[in-house]
Structure 1
Amino acid sequence: MKKLAFAVTAASGAAAFIANHEADASTQHTVKSGESLWTISQQYGVSVEEIKQNNNINNNIVFPGQVIEIGGSSSQEGSSSNTTSQSSGGTTHTVKSGESLNIIANNYGVTVDELVSANNLNGYIIQPNQTLTIPGTTGAGGSGGNTTQTSNTNTASTASDQNLYDWGQCTWHVFNRRAETGQPISTYWWNADHWANNAAADGYTVNNTPSAGSILQTYSGAVGHVAYVEQVNPDGSILISEMNYNTPPGTVDYRTIPASEVSSYNYIH
């Protein structure tokens, strides 16, 4: 009986070692052209957040030829708590999942532009657990100074705070991103292929030069497509966020448009 017990114990120990080894094992994946974190996560049955944590990726951008680790132990143990703290330079805020710059700005009584400037951001993308400095504050949020929110004069008669576009579509996403960044647009511009003309009719500037916060518009596809310009890169390329292009409806994806292709799109400012 003692020999049997020893055999069982040894077998159990071996199984535990193998299971632990497999849990720590990882696969290397070389990013192909057209792939995104979402498509890679679906291929391997893991989450986008897990891939980002394992590779210390702070945004949703991957590049062709980039080698990333799939599975294995996360390089970030645990996550920081959703807290607001006070430092000698003022208040800092740890971004919670689902928050945007507009939500945080309203909470502290500052503007989105002030947050962007105080944190040297190149666009409007923020990530959960990112720490932001809140300008002009000395304590926890909700009681900022006397700040003035400027509004786009073009939106006075057409902007709506209710998103009437179809859920999960590119138009639905862009309407929400503009609202989040304090740049509301009309909810009545119809399908994406009508946006440039309807925006121009409402007094918006439409040209072929992008800027952070502008709307990329194209007539390609059955009903066109729109995306939100998150940032303009130093090399002239642009980072856009969008829905229902390479991902299912309701899932946000990010793409970089090469500088050579940027001027082929319309941009609504």
Structure 2
Amino acid sequence: MLVNLQEILRLAEERHCAIGSFNVYNVESVQAVLKATDGSHPVILAFGEKYDRHMPLEAMAALVKSYVAATPQPVVLHLDHTKQEQTVLRAIRAGFTSIMFDGSSKPLAENICSTARIVDIAHLVSVSVEGELGYLNDEDGSGDPGDPRSYTTPQEAQAFSEGTGVDALAISIGNAHGLYKGTPHLDLARLSAIAQSVETPLVLHGSSGISRDTLQEAIRRGIRKININTEVSTSGVRAAREYLTAQDDPNLRFEQVAKQAESAMENVVREYLDWFDLK
């Protein structure tokens, strides 16, 4: 069943765990995530604004709704990293239950103002909103993730949370989108301080490549939603490449290749879901 982000994060708080948010962009990625949940794990299906060029968000909404209509597990259909109000309105009309509005590149006051407007619109129809505070590099992994001077501070987190009314807050504590060039180091002390300064559930973007122990410690310190994209996507590419390399069949069909990618992605999602449940 489809629920909004606020409902699923309430479950995470009760269970002292984190909910996995996995990017989806076609039928194979949707199937991979849902199969990995075994019909029991709450999960977030995240469709990025940039994917709208590949598959209209209305089509993704219809696809997801058809898959989860008869399932008892809570599923969130989440619009990820959107910067355009028009995209937000389209997503709400299509049936998305959660919006991640990314105003992180703006000055704090402007970010608060823009995000609060999206919150006002979305909450009218019980759609949740996630905001972002602090600098991360671009979603495609390009750019420099910056230095600690660009990280989220407890004081800014409190001002942002109180000024916007967001249902979740994505923070910057050393995490980055894409593949890490070295070993990632999260500022866990900063995370603890932020968690103490706000009541809003906290979100960790750019989590592919961060160790299990570090992610689990981040959960213990207050992270309730963890975004995984790169590691799932690249596993599908590797599986498809290996399968194609091993085949010498001129009649090879695309769906056979896609199924190999789907299986590999399912395995990665399954592993992360196990990590996020601390029981």
Higher helix share: 2
Calculate the TM-score normalised by the size of structure 2.
Answer: 0.29
Structure number with bigger Rg: 1
Higher strand share: 1
Calculate the TM-score normalised by the size of structure 1.
Answer: 0.30
